[in-house]
Structure 1
Amino acid sequence: MYDLTTLAKSDTVAARSEPASHHGGASALAIMRRIEETIDAETVAIRTDPGFDLKASNTRKSRHLYELNRALKSTDEAGLAAQHRDALLRLREKLAANEATIKAHIGAVSEVAALLQDAIERTQTDGTYSEREFGQASPA
């Protein structure tokens, strides 16, 4: 079972270990690495852990994206090096794989829900309350 607290602890340690004087671009790279780690962990957990907390993972991703947005605001375009573009491309690929995994998960959940709904409907129409069980209805 995947434990997201390990990743959350590593996020906190990484955030503390970054000097405050880091250039916005350098901290943006660190944040992008954390986002990649979070996305990778979520993708694996969705595929392998039925008890995975998707809501907590979404909260974590939102926080990382907020941090990234702040870091990039403090960086001018000239400060965005090829490393940033490469990191963003890597992140885009990982997000695409993550999206496909989430869509597959949602599809599977929808299929199970449809099977359960069908089973409930079949149980409710199993003949228990049929006209034959109560005899012929007499015209009023």
Structure 2
Amino acid sequence: MAIPKSAMAARFLRNAILEQGELDYVRTAKSKGCTDRRIMWRHILRNAIIPVITFMGTVIAEIVAGSIVVEQVFSVPGIGRLLVSSISTRDFPVVQTLILYIAVAVMVVYYIVDIIYGIVDPRMRSNED
């Protein structure tokens, strides 16, 4: 499930790096005498990685929720298979618990993505004191 999405993430990163490399602040950093390595790590990559982080957070949440289909198709025992069998036997407390578990897992992934935003780009941190 993740292999095609990782190729898409690499393509997003490549396009974002190429787009950021043409902006004025990169030209300014080059004119100041910064090395290409420093420009890549401190300027270009820091700004280009933001859309990739967003995409990867969505992919991870999709994998957590999409495992239901994979487990059912390949008869792998897991939460997805338990959810489908609980739905078919009308075991509603188990269904509610598993849906809540999946929702919390997705929320945790998005919260971690928000924390990573603050680490990668300090401008995105909350200014509340």
Q: Which has the higher helix share?
A: 2
TM-score, normalised via structure 1 length: 0.32
- Computing the radius of gyration from Cα coordinates, the structure with the larger value is 1
Taking structure 2 as the reference length, the TM-score comes to 0.35
Higher relative contact order (CA 8 A, sep 6+): 1
